[in-house]
Amino acid sequence: MDLFEKLKAKGGPLKDYAASSEGYYMFPNLEGELGSRMKFNGREMIMWSINDYLGLANDPEVRRRDALSAEKWGLAYPMGARMMSGQTEKHAQFETEIADFEGKEAAYLLNYGYQGVISIIQSLVDRKDVIVYDYESHACIVDGVALHLGKRFVFKHNDIDSLKKQLDHATRVIEKNGGSILVISEGVFGMRGDQGILKEIIALKKDYEFRLFVDDAHGFGTLGEKGRGTGNEQGVQDEIDIYFATFAKSFASIGAFVASDKEIIQHLKYSMRSQIFAKSLPMPMVEGALYKLSLIRASSEQKDKLWMIVNALQSGLKELGYDIGVTNSAVTPVYLRGSIEDARKIVEEMREKYGLFTSMVVYPVIPKGMIILRVIPTAAHTMKDVEDTLEIFGEMKAFIASLLH
């Protein structure tokens, strides 16, 4: 069969929605400057679907510095991969400063978060090693693990007994074949919003031999002292062996970093194919990251404002009787039970009648019959945004009840 003909005929849980959903539920076109109020289909919406946790995306001084850096360097400089011709003092400076901020010996600046995680996993393990990872890990972790040529075991989400069981399996494998164990979790899980049980995982090191890799995309900048992350929040940052975070959330940019022991970072620098064979992160992104790091080191103002909004929104939703699960982060999921069609009707009602923009999460991202309205508070939101949103959720209760009876 011709490859193109096969692909044209091939469906899929997301692809099947495209004809009726693209441009509205999926790939929506948002208009206007990034912020708590944006336009969708020409109408102003209260916007709760942007991961700009610290509200820096449209900060005037951030934009001014970005523009000056782009004017000075352009978007091409430095030209080439880091190893060959893409190294600069600014890249190295950021690595030194972020390693100090996170309490690690060294760090490595990465082009992208998604490919970074995949490449880190590939570089850390070989076919004799065993990976043990949380069931609800982000797609980048799942994809990285899928490329692993050795054994891998998955434990139930944040379930320490399940983790022990899988560590027992992993231990038997390495005792037989040699190799090592890598455990992978997240600082904050992006759908549920709950923190990874890092303290409990680390406590198992007294009984099992493994290293811990933590993806803290949603915790960096939002949790811990001045945004140092989930490990700092839980008091176990020193025991996280490989710490990763992206710029796509709190830093409202492109790029990422990984921090660890000096020798491990040296190994990654010379092993990560996604960095060896890819262009260096452009200078405006690097200088922007340095400036944003200086902001959060100097003051907790943006983080404190974020949490004022988070606490007001989450407590208000709970008072209205909505189920927001066990979130203990800025991520605010509203759980409902119903079909994909129910989810579409709820989202459409919110947008068209009330001017409220949230994202819906449905199968295959989560199990069939479950709906998540994913609400992302930011420091750019105001208490008026929260009050208006809670009023809308209050008015939506009757509509949702009639739909999901």
> What pLDDT, on a 0 to 100 scale, did the predictor assign at position 101?
97
The three-state secondary structure class of 40 is strand
Which percentage of the chain shows pLDDT scores above 90?
Answer: 90
CATH number at 9-47+300-403: 3.90.1150.10
The 3-state DSSP composition of the chain as helix, strand, coil percent (nearest 5) reads 45, 15, 40
Rounded Cα distance between 156 and 136, Å, is: 8
Q: Of 236, 192, 235, 240, which Cα lies nearest the Cα of 215?
A: 240
Q: What is the pLDDT of residues 8-42, one digit of tens each?
A: 888 776 677 777 788 888 889 999 999 999 999 99
Which residue blocks in 107-211 are alpha helix, DSSP H? 113-124, 139-146, 160-177, 198-203
Mean local confidence (pLDDT), 334-343: 93
Domain extents in the chain: 9-47+300-403, 61-298
Residues counted in the chain? 405
As given in the structure block, the two tokens for residue 276 are 């060896």
Instruction: Check if the beta carbon of residue 349 is closer than 8 Å to that of residue 399.
Output: yes
| Mean pLDDT, residues 68-79 | 96
Residue 154 pLDDT exceeds 90: yes
Confidence check: pLDDT of 1 > 90: no
CATH of span 61-298 = 3.40.640.10
Q: Which of 199-213, 312-326, 364-378 has the lowest mean pLDDT?
A: 364-378
Position 316 pLDDT exceeds 90: yes
What lies within 8 Å, CB to CB, of 212 at 6+ separation is 182, 183, 184, 185, 198, 201, 202, 205, 239, 240, 241, 242
| Per-residue pLDDT, 350 | 96
**What is the rounded average pLDDT of the residues 52-59?**
96
Q: Which two tokens stand for residue 81?
A: 């991969």
| 69 and 291 Cβ atoms separated by less than 8 Å | no
Burial class (CB in 10 A: 0-12, 13-18, 19+), 60: exposed
Q: Are 216 and 230 in contact (CB under 8 A)?
A: yes
Least confident of 1-15, 72-86, 351-365: 1-15
Task: Report pLDDT for 26.
Answer: 84
Q: What is the mean pLDDT of the chain?
A: 95
Position 15 scores a pLDDT of 72
Residue pLDDT, tens place only, 228-287? 999 999 999 999 999 999 999 999 999 999 999 999 999 999 999 999 999 999 999 999
- Residue 13 is predicted with a pLDDT of 66
Residue 252: what pLDDT? 94
- For residues 375 and 51, the answer to whether their CB atoms sit within 8 Å is no
State the Cα–Cα distance between residues 328 and 325, nearest whole angstrom.
9
Asked if the model's pLDDT at residue 308 lies above 90, the reply is yes
- Could you give the percent of the chain with pLDDT greater than 70? 99
pTM: 0.95
Burial of 6 (0-12, 13-18, 19+ CB in 10 A): exposed
Task: Check pLDDT > 90 for residue 362.
Answer: no
